[in-house]
Amino acid sequence: MKPPEISAFIPQWPSLGIGTRAAWLIAQDCENQVLGLLSRLGAGYRRHGNCAIHETATVEEGAVLKGPIIIGEGSFVAAGAYLRGGVYLGKNCIVGPSCELKSSFMLAASKLAHFNFVGDSLIGEGVNIEAGAIIANYRNELDGAAIKIRYADDVIETGVNKFGALVGNGCKIGANAVIAPGAILEPNSRVPRLGLIDQFAYE
């Protein structure tokens, strides 16, 4: 099956100029993708090595940033947050206290409340992830087997052993929910508190 087009879930994606590879391949290459964006950034960013923070963004003392990282206009990163492995935050994003964001893109006005983990994922605009919710990126129970996704009555063989989710614009993920590795969430999806989304194809 042909991988789903990222722009069908995140219409703003082409404006980043990254390309149209499958979401899991972009997540696997997040560090290089963010480095490429760093080389094309305009004015208005404070540079700290390979981290770029917009002059209107706030990063509280105690946050840990391991570049390459871009933190966009008006975004907020709380004390105790941990960003690593290639991270892109668009405009007006929030990463709350004790959140870990690894090798992921998060577009404008999306929010991690607190005590969240998001790994190897593409997050659209206006996504809200409540406290304690997790987007996992590795099938521990399968000893790192390549992720296979059941989607649209078919199975997608990703060929990668780490991938979190492609999360469309406007999704809401409730507190303490778990998005298992290899999820594709349609725009405006709702995941209830304590919910589980698991689209892995076990056969």
Residue 173: CATH number of its domain: 2.160.10.10
Cα–Cα nearest to 201, from 181, 173, 171: 181
**What tokens were used for 114?**
């607190």
Residue 203 domain-assigned (yes or no): no
Domain membership flag for residue 164: yes
Number of domains in the chain: 1
Phi-psi sector, 132: left (phi>0), alpha (psi -120 to 50), beta: left
Q: Which residue range(s) make up the domain with 46?
A: 6-197
Does residue 202 form part of some domain?
no
From residue 169, alpha-carbon distances to 41, 60, 108, 186 in Å are: 24, 27, 10, 8
pTM here? Answer: 0.97
Q: Is residue 30 part of a domain?
A: yes
Q: Which of 91, 114, 150, 172 is catalytic?
A: 114
Residue 109 lies in a domain: yes
Residue 63 belongs to some domain of the structure: yes
| CB contact at 8 A, 72 and 89 | yes
1 within domain boundaries = no
In a domain, 51, yes or no: yes
Q: Which candidate, 140, 132, 199, 201, places its Cα nearest to that of 167?
A: 199
pLDDT tens for the 203 residues of the chain, in order: 688 999 999 999 999 999 889 999 999 999 999 999 999 998 999 999 999 999 999 999 999 999 999 999 999 999 999 999 999 999 999 999 999 999 999 999 999 999 999 999 999 999 999 999 999 999 988 887 899 999 988 999 999 999 999 999 999 999 999 999 999 999 999 999 999 999 998 76
With vertex at residue 83, the alpha carbon angle to CA 35 and CA 3, rounded to the nearest 5 degrees, is 65
71: β partners:
53, 89
Catalytic-residue membership of 48: no
